[in-house]
A and B are shown apart, each in its own frame.
Chain A
């Protein structure tokens, strides 16, 4: 059980302040002067991340947003460039954004997305958005029933790798700045904040412990990885999984760590004899037959098992091998979205039941 215990964060290492909840709205209003402010909002029954016009509409006491904040770094649809008579123009987005109220698991996902998109040949569209985006994450005091970040170290709070992390301590926030940019940003409104006291840290410790205790069941991705690499998981297992897949792509779209895209060209007339072409990219999904389709109509991954198995292999085997961490943060979005109940948690759970004993 020792591994499960929260580790209090050493004060010297992190820049910390305390922000009274009464001052939050003022602080955000000030930030909004220099940044586009994005935060979770209730829209009918959904929680979505959106540009905030009225601060009081921000919804912090809600389940995870659908879709994830990857939308702001790698949008569902992103114009890349246009080509007209006067040449090519680059449509990279460089808006300054603060994304407020995201969860720790999503910040963990962004750290891994950084590794993927910025390593090798860096993706200029992602890079430009990323450079101009700052995340203010909120430690989850009450995880959703679908969350399993605790066993992965991707949440419910982070020890490193965040910009600004807030602990909700009831009437106030303990605010931690994890990057130089974040320190500078907080520095501008230091007058709203005070240094944390011993009581603040005790309350922080309480919050960490009680949140961790709320995770009912630990899903072990490492266990699943080992079962697969040990050759225990037969294709029959994947065949059963594949048969339940509706090929809707929901898992891919909602997952903060699915990164694939397609590119399309569209023509339109800007004026007589002035044809413009816009080249854009949009999310694509390895769950779809045509994803690997070749010229002439050959479909190398036509069998569904090849695609569903690939999705799990990518997240459980290839991600750790190539980027050093699982391609899953335990956010639970695929559990919410999958109509076939073959989301990450369910499949890993089932794999454990079938193969871990014996």
Chain B
């Protein structure tokens, strides 16, 4: 990143593009300068002529920089048009990171919905690499259909390294012989010591809300229920105003928040005081 202009992206080389599902690709990029990041942080990724989009890092600090990107519109569509050897612009990392202290010495329950697994992946790596610092790690990962499942091969590797993985799809087909139904429906299979656990949740907004409520009901205290939020973002550095949530900006005050912080905001400012309309604020 340009040292004196935060809005100037640095050019990065796309080294590899891997197709993960019908509309999700994994991009490995190489930057000129060395960049460090923490699990939960994101970059503003640009394709000149199309614009910028906030994208979470999906790789751990020991790996090259990787982004897992779903094609949903203008900018992400342009990114999907790029191949290995092309360049993109990146600036960051931005935002806070997943807190790890809430999980030290405890059971960890990770709940992912769809692409929500992307930002959680570096966190899973942290738990694997420093396994002795944490008790048991459970991963519940849900997708819409079998064709939408990403990182399934990695899940097998993670399982070998001690992560207890449950994969589920909402709408199964003949190829699917594992679990079906919403992720929250499988919490009963998680034999964690909930009173004494921490949880990390990422996915679509309705899923986040349901999952936070579900683990809270099982006894995880609100300050140890952690999620990461999405919003329309134009700057990533707390200036453009688009990502407001009450007095907070999701890009700089977040994107990672605890259930406790979110509830406190909702109590103080009522429903609908952020990009999250009523459902999110109905807690």
Contacts and interface: CB of A to CB of B under 8 A. Distances in A.
Contacts of A295: 72-73, 76
B261 to A, nearest CB: 15
Contacts, number: 115
A40 B230 CA distance: 43
A260 B240 contact: yes
A293 B247 contact: no
Nearest to B10: A88
A66 interface: no
A111 interface: no
A317 B7 contact: no
Contact of B52 (A92, A263, A266): A263
Given A295-B76, A306-B277, A317-B247, A80 B7 contact: yes
A265 B49 contact: yes
Given A83-B48, A286-B244, A123 B277 contact: no
A264 B51 contact: yes
Contact of B50 (A265, A301, A313): A265
B238 A121 contact: yes
B275 A301 contact: yes
Contacts of A88: 8-9, 11
Contacts of B276: 300
Interface string B46-71: 00111110000000000000000000
A205 interface: no
How large, as a class, is the contact surface on chain A?
35 or more
Nearest to A90: B5
A124 B277 contact: no
Contacts of A117: 239
Contacts of A301: 272, 275, 277
A294 B51 contact: no
B51 A265 contact: yes
Given A277-B49, A301-B272, A322 B7 contact: no
Contacts of A267: 49
Contacts of B22: none
Nearest to B71: A295
A81 B241 contact: no
Interface string A80-105: 11010001101010000000000000
Contacts of B48: 83, 265, 277, 279
B102 interface: no
Nearest to A124: B5
A291 interface: yes
Interface residues of B, number: 41
A313 B5 contact: no
A121 B277 contact: no
A264 B48 CA distance: 10
Nearest to A292: B275
A303 B269 contact: no
Interface centre among A279, A303, A313, A314 (most CB of B within 10 A): A279
A170 interface: no
Contacts of A284: 234, 240-242
A259 B234 CA distance: 13
A144 to B, nearest CB: 28
Contacts of A35: none
Interface in B2-28: 2, 4-9, 11
A153 B231 CA distance: 36
Contact of A318 (B4, B8, B246): B246
25 contacts: A88-B11, A90-B2, A90-B8, A116-B239, A123-B237, A124-B5, A124-B6, A124-B7, A260-B240, A261-B240, A263-B51, A263-B235, A265-B49, A266-B49, A277-B48, A286-B241, A295-B73, A295-B76, A300-B274, A305-B272, A306-B273, A309-B273, A314-B244, A317-B269, A318-B246
What 7 pairs between A and B have smallest CB-CB spacing? A260-B241, A318-B247, A121-B237, A300-B275, A277-B48, A292-B275, A295-B72
